[in-house]
Chains A and B, each alone.
Chain A
């Protein structure tokens, strides 16, 4: 059974702190790794789609790295702000035969206190 693990499950930080979370996924048959931010009462919002080993992507204060050989991705938030409070999801694209689909982790819930 393919599994995507995210850690920690939840995180409480103070405004201004930098933080990072981990996403672990199967390293074989890698295709793509997606990161999403899901704020309460809103739709999940795509942050990054990463496909190449060693990929680094950045969007404002948020960045992500990808290691497909060892099966992990890190998401970093520099100088956390209260508006960064959300659940961060990663999803591994599993491709089997001629079909594929995204397998999501359970997310890391980030709370940023002012």
Chain B
């Protein structure tokens, strides 16, 4: 069974640009969650999508948005990039609501904003 994949793996952008990251969950998984990790911080929850609907959103500005397609693939978009957006972005998939379900992580996209 193929794992969670994320593209691209590395990305360099400049301030003010926008970026789109992609996540393909494990086949059959309907829930996709996105997390941000910056140095010294734990994984910070961005949002969760389930069956094309955003079920929950973390405490991030509106510049961070996402969507999920009918095949459960998800994209995350960050507009008007700031230096502080430089981070590792991880997505994770699970069969259903993440509470009691094992969550499987992708390898992450490392974003550098110059």
Contact = CB atoms under 8 A, between A and B. Distances in A.
Contacts of A42: 107
Interface string A19-39: 000000000000110101000
Contact of B56 (A36, A101, A106): A101
Contact of B55 (A32, A36, A99): A99
Given A89-B43, A99-B56, A46 B99 contact: no
Interface string B51-79: 00001101000000000000000000000
Interface of B is mostly: loop
Nearest to A41: B107
Contacts, number: 64
A59 B58 CA distance: 32
A93 B48 CA distance: 13
Interface string A85-114: 000010101010001111111110000000
Interface of B: 3-4, 33, 35, 40-45, 48, 55-56, 58, 90, 92, 97-108
Given A31-B99, A43-B106, 7 more contacts: A42-B107, A43-B4, A43-B90, A44-B105, A49-B101, A100-B97, A106-B42
